[in-house]
Amino acid sequence: MNMAITGEFTNLEIDLREPDRMTDLFEDAEFFVSEVTLQIFDYKQGDVGIERKDVNDFIGSFKTRDPKKTSIWDQLNRISEFEGYAYLIIVGHYEDSDYMSQRKCSKKEFNGALNSIATRYYGRIQIRQVDYGIQEDEEFVEAVTKILHSHRHGKASQQRGLKVSPTTKYTMPAKILALVDGIDTVAQEIADHHDLETIHDVVGLDRKMLMEVDGIGKKKAEKIVNDLGI
């Protein structure tokens, strides 16, 4: 794993239910790891808590109707009560999920869930996504390291999010914007123009900001705001 930023932290708590390989990867990144039982997070360092969700688990948790299984909303309600900084990191994108290939969840449903979370828990839970694949665990460790480093050095308020890998066609905010009919061709332009890096940034858009982008007039701006409910 090649990272410019390493752990440098006195301790990182990892929930006992997390795979052993994650402990090894964080130790390789120069963290001092303690394996403990965490009640609401998978990873915790001081006042920063991080929940990791595989994209299939994430979709399953908001699609489930089994009363014996915990829904994503129940889990996020508990996380939102944390008196600190809470993060949800989703490993993978909709296109990586089994639900897409099996046609059990539409892209609109997936992005709608992300948008609902960003709106409902605005200012309490921040969402990140990392790419799915052979290096997914390493990318997750890198994302966590950057988050904790930003808090340790007082840069959390300046760092609004982690950009999706440049190998991805659209960044996550652009994918949400692209849900609106007729906007897919300028979705990434909107994201780039306003430096959108997280779902929270999308929620913060208004009509005037949208109309600053070439090709977005009053009607299109109105449609984006109404369709996304922002």
pLDDT band at 68, cuts 50/70/90?
Answer: low
Q: Which CATH class is domain 163-230?
A: mainly alpha
The one-letter amino acid code at 169 reads K
Higher pLDDT, 144 or 155: 144
Report the distance separating Cα 201 and Cα 196, nearest Å: 5
Tens of pLDDT, residues 182-228: 787 788 889 989 988 877 788 889 999 999 998 899 999 988 888 77
Give the pairing of strands 43-45 and 12-15. Answer: antiparallel
Q: How far is CA 26 from CA 37, 86, 112, in A?
A: 17, 19, 32
Q: Which of the four pLDDT bands, split at 50, 70 and 90, describes residue 69?
A: low
pLDDT band at 72 (very low <50, low <70, confident <90, very high): confident
pLDDT at position 181: 76
Average pLDDT along the chain: 82
Q: Cβ contacts of residue 119 below 8 Å, gap of 6+?
A: 203, 229, 230
Q: What would the pLDDT profile of 21-44 be if each residue is shown by its tens digit? A: 999 999 998 899 999 999 999 999
Fold of 1-160: Rossmann fold (3.40.50)
Asked if 197 and 163 count as a contact pair (C-beta separation under 8 A), the reply is yes
Q: Which two tokens stand for residue 147?
A: 């988050």
> Angle at the Cα of 175 (from 173 to 181), degrees rounded to 5?
120
Say which residues have a Cβ less than 8 Å from residue 95's Cβ, sequence separation at least 6: none
Cα(139)–Cα(150) distance, integer angstroms: 17
What is the reported pLDDT for 158? Answer: 40
Does 156 score more than 90 pLDDT? no
Nearest to 113 by CA among 55, 169, 164: 55
With helix as H, strand as E and coil as C, how does 39-108 read?
CCCCEEECCEEEEEEEHHHHHHHHHCCCCCCCCHHHHHHHHHCCCCEEEEEEECCHHHCHHHHCCCCCHH
Please state the domain extents for the chain. Answer: 1-160, 163-230
Nearest to 141 by CA among 50, 55, 48: 50
